[in-house]
Amino acid sequence: MSAPAPAREAAAAASPEAPLLAVRGIDVSLGRPAVPILRDVSLTVRAGEIVGIVGETGSGKTTLARTIFGLVRPLRGVVEVEGAPVSALDGSRLRAFRRTGRVQLVFQDPLRSLDPDLTVAAIVGEGPAIQGVPAAERREKVARALELVGLDSSVASRTPGQISGGQRQRVSIARAVVSGPRLLVCDEPVSALDASNRNHILRLLDDLRRELGIGVVVISHDLGSLAGIADRVAVLYRGRIVEDGPVTEVFRDPRHPYTALLVASAPRVSGVHGHSLAALRQAGPTGVAGGCVFAHRCPFATSDCSIQPETAVSGDRHVACHHAATWPSAASRLERNHAHG
Amino acid sequence: MPSSRPLLSVTDLRVTVGGGAEAVRGVSFDVAPGESVGLVGESGSGKTLTCRAVLGVLPPGCAVTGGRVEFGGEDLTAFGRRQWEAVRGARIGAVFQDPASYLNPSLTVGAQLAEVLRVKAGLPRRAARAKAVELLGGMGLHDPARVYGQYPHELSGGMLQRVLIAIAVSCDPELLVADEATTALDVTVQAEVLELLGRLRRERGLSIVFVSHDLAVVAELCDRIAVFYGGELVESGPTEEVLASPRHPYTEALLRVASVGDWGRRTLDVIPGQPPPVGAAVTGCRFADRCAFAADACRQGDIPLSALPEGRAVRCVRASEVALAGAGALMGEAR
Length reported for chain A: 341
What element of type H or E holds A146?
A: helix A135-148
Half-sphere CA count of B101, side-chain side, radius 13 A: 6
Query: Is the CB of B261 less than 8 angstroms away from the CB of A269?
Result: yes
Q: What is the pLDDT at residue A41?
A: 96
CB < 8 Å to A56, chain B: 186-189
Which of B216, B253, B268 is closest, CB to CB, to A268?
A: B216
**Which of A 92-111 lie inside 8 A of B, CB atoms?**
none
Instruction: Verify that A223 and A299 share a domain, yes or no.
Output: no
- Pair B67, B13: CB distance under 8 Å: yes
- Summarize the confidence of residues A306-328 as an average pLDDT: 94
Residue B182: which of B168, B170, B196, B169 has the closest Cα?
A: B196
Q: What is the pLDDT at residue A4?
A: 45
Q: What percentage of chain B reaches a pLDDT higher than 70?
A: 96
> Considering A204, A237, A270, which residue would you say is the last residue of a domain?
A237
Instruction: Verify that A69 and A189 share a domain, yes or no.
Output: yes
A247: in domain: no
Residue B249: which of B297, B299, B316 has the closest Cα?
A: B316
User: Distance between CA B211 and CA B47 in Å, rounded?
Assistant: 7
Determine contact: A272 vs chain B, CB below 8 A: yes
Instruction: Verify that A226 and A323 share a domain, yes or no.
Output: no
Which of B157, B214, B261 is closest, CB to CB, to A270?
A: B261
CB < 8 Å to A261, chain B: 188
Average pLDDT, chain B: 91
Determine contact: B331 vs chain A, CB below 8 A: yes
Determine contact: B189 vs chain A, CB below 8 A: yes
A188: in domain: yes
More confident residue, A86 or A337: A86
Instruction: Verify that A327 and A219 share a domain, yes or no.
Output: no
Instruction: Verify that A213 and A306 share a domain, yes or no.
Output: no
Determine contact: B106 vs chain A, CB below 8 A: no
pLDDT, tens digit, 9 for 90 and up, residues B79-126? 998 999 889 999 999 999 888 889 999 999 999 999 999 998 899 999
Q: What is the pLDDT at residue B317?
A: 94
Q: How far is CA B171 from CA B101, B165, B201, in A?
A: 21, 11, 15
CB < 8 Å to A200, chain B: 270
A25: in domain: no
Number of domains in chain A: 2
CB < 8 Å to B263, chain A: 223, 227, 247-248, 251-252, 263, 273
The 3-state secondary structure of chain B reads CCCCCCCEEEEEEEEEECCCEEEEEEEEEEECCCCEEEEECCCCCCHHHHHHHHHCCCCCCEEEEEEEEEECCEEHHHCCHHHHHHHECCCEEEECCCHHHHCCCCCCHHHHHHHHHHHCCCCCHHHHHHHHHHHHHHCCCCCHHHHHCCCHHHCCHHHHHHHHHHHHHCCCCCEEEEECCCCCCCHHHHHHHHHHHHHHHHHHCCEEEEEECCHHHHHHHCCEEEEEECCEEEEEEEHHHHHHCCCCHHHHHHHHHCCCCCCCCCCCCCCCCCCCCCCCCCCCCCCHHHCCCCCHHHHCCCCCCEEECCCEEECCCCCCCCCCCCHHHHHHHHC
Determine contact: B291 vs chain A, CB below 8 A: no
Instruction: Verify that A260 and A136 share a domain, yes or no.
Output: no
Instruction: For A272, name the nearest residue in chain B, comparing CA atoms only.
Output: B261
Instruction: Verify that A204 and A97 share a domain, yes or no.
Output: yes
Instruction: Verify that A233 and A259 share a domain, yes or no.
Output: no
Instruction: For A230, name the nearest residue in chain B, comparing CA atoms only.
Output: B266
A277: in domain: yes
- Of the pLDDT bands very low, low, confident and very high (cuts 50, 70, 90), residue A284 is low
CATH number, residue A52: 3.40.50.300
- Pair A44, A23: CB distance under 8 Å: yes
Instruction: Verify that A212 and A264 share a domain, yes or no.
Output: no
* Residue A155 structural domain: 46-74+86-237
> Considering A237, A267, A284, which residue would you say is the last residue of a domain?
A237
Determine contact: B220 vs chain A, CB below 8 A: yes
pLDDT at B65 over 50: yes
A160: in domain: yes
CB < 8 Å to A269, chain B: 215-216, 219, 243, 255, 258-261, 327
- Summarize the confidence of residues A271-283 as an average pLDDT: 73
Residue B79: which of B62, B102, B60, B57 has the closest Cα?
A: B57
Instruction: Verify that A271 and A233 share a domain, yes or no.
Output: no
pLDDT, tens digit, 9 for 90 and up, residues A78-123? 999 998 899 998 889 998 888 888 999 998 877 788 899 999 999 9
Instruction: Verify that A119 and A176 share a domain, yes or no.
Output: yes
- Weakest mean pLDDT among A9-18, A85-94, B265-274: A9-18
pLDDT, tens digit, 9 for 90 and up, residues A187-197? 999 887 888 88
pLDDT at A154 over 50: yes
Instruction: Verify that A284 and A226 share a domain, yes or no.
Output: no
Determine contact: B265 vs chain A, CB below 8 A: yes
CA distance A194 to chain B (A): 6
pLDDT, tens digit, 9 for 90 and up, residues B245-266? 999 999 999 988 887 666 766 6
- Pair A77, A244: CB distance under 8 Å: no
CA distance A202 to chain B (A): 8
CA distance B122 to chain A (A): 38
pLDDT, tens digit, 9 for 90 and up, residues B145-199? 999 999 999 999 999 999 999 999 999 999 999 999 998 888 899 999 999 999 9
Bridge partners of B40, per DSSP, are B212, B227
CB < 8 Å to A267, chain B: 187, 190-191, 194, 214, 216-217, 219-220, 259
pLDDT, tens digit, 9 for 90 and up, residues A296-316? 889 999 989 999 999 999 999
Query: Could you tell me the end-to-end alpha-carbon distance of chain A, in angstroms, rounded to an integer?
Result: 43
User: Distance between CA B13 and CA B297 in Å, rounded?
Assistant: 26
Residue A204: which of A153, A150, A163 has the closest Cα?
A: A150
- Pair B155, A190: CB distance under 8 Å: no
Residue A182: which of A92, A340, A298, A49 has the closest Cα?
A: A49
Instruction: For B328, name the nearest residue in chain A, comparing CA atoms only.
Output: A270
- Of the pLDDT bands very low, low, confident and very high (cuts 50, 70, 90), residue A289 is low
- Pair B158, B141: CB distance under 8 Å: no
- Summarize the confidence of residues A58-74 as an average pLDDT: 92
Interface test with A, best of B186, B263, B267, B287 (most A CBs within 10 A): B263
